[in-house]
Structure 1
Amino acid sequence: MNHIPARHQLSPGIVSLADHEQQARQHLDDNAWAYFSGGAADEITLRANRSAWDALPLWPRVLRPLAGGHTRVSLLGRTLAHPIVLAPVAFQRLAHPDGELAMAYAAAALGAGVVLSTQASVSLEAVAQAVLPDPGRGPLWFQLYLQNDRGFTQALVQRAEAAGYEALVLTVDAPSSGVRDRERRAGFRLPPGVSPVNLAGLQATPSPPLRPGQSALFDGLLHHAPTWDDIAWLQSITRLPVLLKGVLHPADARQAVAAGAAGLIVSNHGGRTLDTAPATASALPRVVQAVGGALPVLVDGGIRRGTDVLKAMALGASAVLVGRPAVWGLAHAGAAGVAHVLRLLRDELENAMALTGCATLADASPALLDADFTADRRS
């Protein structure tokens, strides 16, 4: 097992992810706090992500055999100790000097998967070298933004393959950035020493000159926005499975199946792109139904309790991703804080399973959320 470096120690009395968030606020300056905690515009979707999980009731079941239960799941040909994956979050050295390295060490130590951001502040090779030798680690995936320069994107993909990453997670829901009022009010900027190191050497591609009355967005930036044709191109240059992150609409989910995607991540970018987009808990069952079991569906957004993890699995998710809570643990306690966040979620998941009569996650079905669900009337 990897050694978890300890730059800070956990404060006493931290028993929930909300406690981690409170501690993190005391360690992050206004600049970093605005970046990590803020959402788009009025932050309606940011709040809805959380409230949507809260609104789903769990119906307890009693007197069921539970001995020998476990949290293991299968995903892309691997057996995971539990269905909790660390979501890609950019610039983690804003939160702690060890940044993505600490995050990856904690994930490996707790058997969690980790998805490294294209905009990581630590090199993708350093993260892979740190955790790949650990036999108990979860999956190691690389999140990708398609760059304007296809040659640069291809080289980045080749680096990820050579380093040992096991899948690519292509973010598809951000052809432009969201309107992030909180960041603008804070005057967000990257401090010295924090940068997207894996994008070093990327040259900006000039947009066509604008004529009077043209839009800088539609007639400029969006000339380089990816399309479904780019999915086919990406698949043609890599041997790695490609998952699409940021799918909410069932029609897009069906098109992703047709395009040969290896998996989908139901996500609204943590409420950071389109405000008033649906909460992921609401979109998840629609996407699961649309793909009809053709590929695994994961989900992120607002997951703060083990009960939320169980609800996601009951709605058909293959696994969940957690972003901000891991950053909160990182900010005030380094790798040990991230590990504690993961441990809390897994312990709470086991407790929720026991109290709903689920010995394994295969027992989690929509019947947990709806006492009148027809599939459960036979039991």
Structure 2
Amino acid sequence: MTLRAFHDSARKLLDPVVYDYVAGGAGEERALNDNEQAFDRYALLPRVLSGDGARDTAVDLPGARRAAPVIVAPTAFHRLVHRDGERATARAAAAEGAVLVTGVAATAPVHEVVAAAHEANPEAAVWFQLYPHPRREVTVALVRRAEEAGCAALVVTVDSPVFGRRTRDLRNGFSDLPAGFAAENMRGLPGSGPDALTDIPMSASVRWSDFAAVVRSTPLPVLIKGVLHPDDARLAVEHGAAGVIVSNHGGRQCDVVPAAVDCLPAVCGAVAGRVPVLLDGGIRRGGDVAVALALGASAVGVGRPVVWGLAVDGEAGVRRVLGSLRDEYDHTLALCGGRRNSDLTVGMVVLRGGTW
């Protein structure tokens, strides 16, 4: 099955409200659609007589040595689409050598997600995504949970000062999880009872000092997610970020922003190799992975395709999605004359229909 086929099958299987929650974006969904369509504007100029029969596509990421160049981006509420939820996703990612980013909107607690990943692969790396909370003791408690669970890194999402206005969810009246589902990592935090849930924080009062406080609070590497402006990329490195994830939140926050891949070259230029830069948004085929790496990304994240695979066939579906992207990328790398990821360079990227 192609990734498109997984999407089409998942759409038939899922409750339309749940499908819209996963598939939808903010506003008129221009940013969401542009994330995918932007890749149609790029092409690669292959090199010839420079390849090798054996290719090495592994990448060293914070807390994850020799990982696949495709990671599982943080996506919410996996149990809405499959009964095994994040545990199935964790086992699949671990088996495929892919970093899994779980987080505060998971419907399984982080210690169970990490345990499931390590059952499949004791060397698997799981990162934990969080939003800085206006009450710092809540953020610290989340960081400690991730550390104690065995997470290899933290990912701080910074592009959500307020919730995005997601047209489909507003139309469907989708605002709360159904009975029996919860954001389990937000349970029993400071200021609430042992079984009470704290709202996932969105706060316009969060500042760079709050991000720096997270970095200081933990020995884990801390990546920053949701950067589009090169000046923010520079500030992220200055405040201790171990990696920068270029992302527009899958088009779910602000509908007037560019496609994530169009922002990638300027961010890579600003970071200047000091930390890895990752891209999240719009990856739907192995050729997209190759374009992103040629433009400077160390790795890419995929979100919705993983959820569609989970919905269709659970753990096996996620493995097929990740395996398909891996194999397509390896094939594209070979066709471009590459032996390793670094053989894809910005000088090989051209605009379709443009002047060479």
TM value normalised by structure 1: 0.86
Q: What do residues 84-137 of structure 1 show as CA deviations (whole Å, max 9, x unaligned)?
A: 100011111111111100100100111111000211000111111122354465
For 1:258, the aligned partner's letter is: E
Question: Any conservation in 2 of the 1:114–1:140 contact (CA below 8 Å)?
Answer: yes
Ranges in structure 2 where 5+ consecutive residues have no aligned partner: 193-200, 352-356
Q: 134-143 vs 327-336, which deviates more? A: 134-143
* 1:242 corresponding residue in structure 2: 222
Which runs of structure 2 are paired with 1:164-175 in the superposition (5 Å)?
164-175=150-161
Are 1:158 and 2:138 matched, yes or no? no
State how far apart, in whole Å, the 1-side matches of 2:293 and 2:279 are.
9
Which runs of structure 2 are paired with 1:276-315 in the superposition (5 Å)?
276-315=256-295
State how far apart, in whole Å, the 1-side matches of 2:290 and 2:124 are.
19
Measured after TM superposition, the shift of residue 248 of structure 1 is 0.3
State how far apart, in whole Å, the 2-side matches of 1:297 and 1:223 are.
25
* 1:275 corresponding residue in structure 2: 255
* Helix, strand or coil at the partner of 1:57: strand
* 1:147 corresponding residue in structure 2: 133
Question: Any conservation in 2 of the 1:106–1:338 contact (CA below 8 Å)?
Answer: yes
Measured after TM superposition, the shift of residue 223 of structure 1 is 6.5
Are 1:192 and 2:172 matched, yes or no? no
Quote the RMSD (CA, aligned, Å).
1.9
Measured after TM superposition, the shift of residue 351 of structure 1 is 0.9
* 1:43 corresponding residue in structure 2: 29
* 2:86 corresponding residue in structure 1: 100
Question: Any conservation in 2 of the 1:30–1:186 contact (CA below 8 Å)?
Answer: no
TM value normalised by structure 2: 0.92
Measured after TM superposition, the shift of residue 358 of structure 1 is 0.8
Which runs of structure 2 are paired with 1:355-370 in the superposition (5 Å)?
355-370=335-350
Measured after TM superposition, the shift of residue 147 of structure 1 is 2.2
Measured after TM superposition, the shift of residue 222 of structure 1 is 7.8
Q: What do residues 284-311 of structure 1 show as CA deviations (whole Å, max 9, x unaligned)?
A: 0000001111111001101000000011
State how far apart, in whole Å, the 1-side matches of 2:8 and 2:205 are.
37
For 2:118, the aligned partner's letter is: L
Which runs of structure 2 are paired with 1:204-223 in the superposition (5 Å)?
none
Measured after TM superposition, the shift of residue 192 of structure 1 is 1.2
Q: What do residues 234-281 of structure 1 show as CA deviations (whole Å, max 9, x unaligned)?
A: 122211111100000001011111111111000000000010201111
For 1:325, the aligned partner's letter is: P
* 1:215 corresponding residue in structure 2: none
* 2:100 corresponding residue in structure 1: 114
Measured after TM superposition, the shift of residue 197 of structure 1 is 1.0
State how far apart, in whole Å, the 2-side matches of 1:141 and 1:115 are.
5
Ranges in structure 1 where 5+ consecutive residues have no aligned partner: 1-13, 206-220, 372-379
State how far apart, in whole Å, the 1-side matches of 2:35 and 2:23 are.
13
Measured after TM superposition, the shift of residue 151 of structure 1 is 1.6
**Across the two proteins, how many residue pairs are aligned to each other?**
343
Which runs of structure 2 are paired with 1:34-113 in the superposition (5 Å)?
34-76=20-62, 78-113=64-99
Are residues 21 and 300 of structure 1, via their aligned partners in 2, closer, same or farther at CA, if it must alter by over 3 Å?
same
* Helix, strand or coil at the partner of 2:337: coil
For 1:294, the aligned partner's letter is: R
Structure showing greater Rg: 1
Are 1:28 and 2:11 matched, yes or no? no
Q: What do residues 26-82 of structure 1 show as CA deviations (whole Å, max 9, x unaligned)?
A: 111111111100000000000110011111012233333322222112222643242
State how far apart, in whole Å, the 2-side matches of 1:283 and 1:161 are.
32
Which runs of structure 2 are paired with 1:310-329 in the superposition (5 Å)?
310-329=290-309
For 1:156, the aligned partner's letter is: L
